[in-house]
Structures are given as C-alpha cells and as structure tokens.
C-alpha cells in the first residue's frame, strides 16, 4: 500500500494569504479525493512568524501596521487590504480588517503545537485563522486563546497552562529553524512529499494537480520495485 503524501505547510495565523492558501489547499485536496484512485494525504502545519517584533497590544488598525511595516502610505495599505479581501472572498472567506486586532502571534503558534500533540491541529489552525480574520478576536491574549482552544475540542485549562509554561516555544523555534534551512522567507510555503516546494496561495486546481502527480509517481515507483 502506498504511503500518504505528506504536505508540510509553513504559515502564520496573521498572514491573510496563508488562510487563503489553507482554504485553496483544502479545496484542491477535496477535488482530488473524488478520484477513483484518490491520493492519500497528510497535512502538517508549521510555525512562521512574519513579524516577531510586533507587540502583543498593537496600537492601530491593520492599515496602520502595513503602512509602517512596509513604508507605504495609508492609502496604499488600504488598497492592499481591499485586494486581499477580494481574493479571500473568492476562496469563500469574509475578511474583516475593520475588526482585526493586530498582535504578536508566537503564543498562537505555541497553541498550534499543543493542539498537534492532542491530535487537533487542523481544527485549531482553522479556529485561530477564522477568529483573527473574520471575528476580530485578540490572539495575543491567553484567555482568548484558551477559549478558542475549547472551540477546537481541547481542554481550555490545559491550553492556558501550556501557554503560561512556554513549553511549546522550542517547537515553534524548531519550525522556524527548518524554514530557514529550506530557504523559506515568505509564507504560505508548502513542501510536498519532502521534495517539491510550492510558494504562495496557489489556486485549488494547482494543489489537485500536484498531489495527483506525486501520487502517480509514487505508484509507478512501487510498481517498478515490485
């Protein structure tokens, strides 16, 4: 039996293109799963902080942050947000930058590693991104994160203790070190089967195509070895 294709995804929960890429990946894999010989796929999310120097309580809106961070005018920043909001809508996501609370994401990444250990990483990633981009939740706040962990099927008190202890920070740093080793300097970034790198929020069809291609390669190799 052919092993599952592993897709390692480097992303930041505060990256608007990462949520779009996540949804496009899911839709692409769903399309491929309808094939007669559907590829088996395992997806694992890894930590990448786009702006590790961001304060937990950022004073200003998302356009203010973009203007300062990228050295552009507030008008240009708003145009960027309007564009990504339109792309997100095409992916079935309703971004609310008017509600968004910009924050440091390291604790959210620690929570994702806690969730992975509990077998709920996918649920946690979805809940965090939805909370951040569509609900205006403060993902730098431990109480908010614990509440979102509960929404994802985890124990809120255990999640709060995990965040307070900082014991998942080394796992976050290990993900970041691996990204550096791979030469990843922007997200989302997808490493498929340990050998194909895909950068950016590609269309769903692109993900369907590559997993089908890798699955066919896997089976051809298995047939030769048999």
pLDDT digits (tens, 9 = 90+) for 171-184: 999 999 999 999 99
| Residue 63, CB-side half-sphere exposure with 13 Å CA sphere | 16
pTM score, two decimals? Answer: 0.95
pLDDT digits (tens, 9 = 90+) for 70-86: 899 999 999 999 999 99
The two tokens of residue 82 are: 């309007």
Query: Given pLDDT bands bounded at 50, 70 and 90, which one contains residue 226?
Result: low
Classify strands 5-11 and 196-199 as parallel, antiparallel or unpaired.
unpaired
Q: Selecting from 2.60.120.1440, 3.10.150.10, 3.40.50.700, 3.40.30.10, what CATH number does the domain 5-225 have? A: 3.40.30.10
SS3 of residue 44 by DSSP: strand
**Domain locations in the chain as residue ranges:** 5-225
**Nearest to residue 16, comparing CAs of 71, 108, 65, 87?**
87
């Amino acid at each position: 039996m052919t092993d599952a294709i592993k897709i390692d995804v480097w992303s930041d929960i505060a990256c608007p293109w990462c949520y779009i890429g996540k949804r496009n990946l899911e839709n692409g894999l769903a399309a491929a799963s309808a094939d007669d010989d559907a590829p088996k796929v395992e997806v694992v999310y890894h930590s990448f902080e786009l702006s590790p120097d961001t304060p937990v309580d950022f004073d200003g809106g998302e356009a203010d942050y973009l203007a300062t961070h990228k050295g552009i005018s507030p008008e240009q920043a708003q145009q960027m947000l309007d564009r990504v909001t339109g792309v997100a809508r095409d992916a079935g996501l309703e971004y609310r930058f008017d509600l968004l609370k910009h924050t440091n994401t390291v604790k959210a990444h620690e929570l994702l590693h806690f969730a992975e250990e509990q077998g709920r990483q996918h649920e946690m990633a979805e809940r965090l991104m939805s909370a951040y981009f569509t609900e205006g939740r403060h993902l730098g706040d431990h109480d908010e994160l614990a509440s979102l962990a509960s929404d994802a099927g985890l124990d809120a008190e255990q999640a709060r203790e995990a965040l307070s202890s900082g014991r998942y920070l080394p796992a976050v740093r290990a993900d970041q070190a691996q990204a550096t080793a791979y030469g990843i300097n922007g997200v989302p970034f997808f490493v498929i089967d340990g050998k194909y790198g895909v950068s950016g929020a590609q269309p769903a069809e692109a993900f369907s195509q590559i997993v089908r291609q890798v699955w066919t390669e896997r089976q051809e190799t298995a047939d030769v070895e048999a």
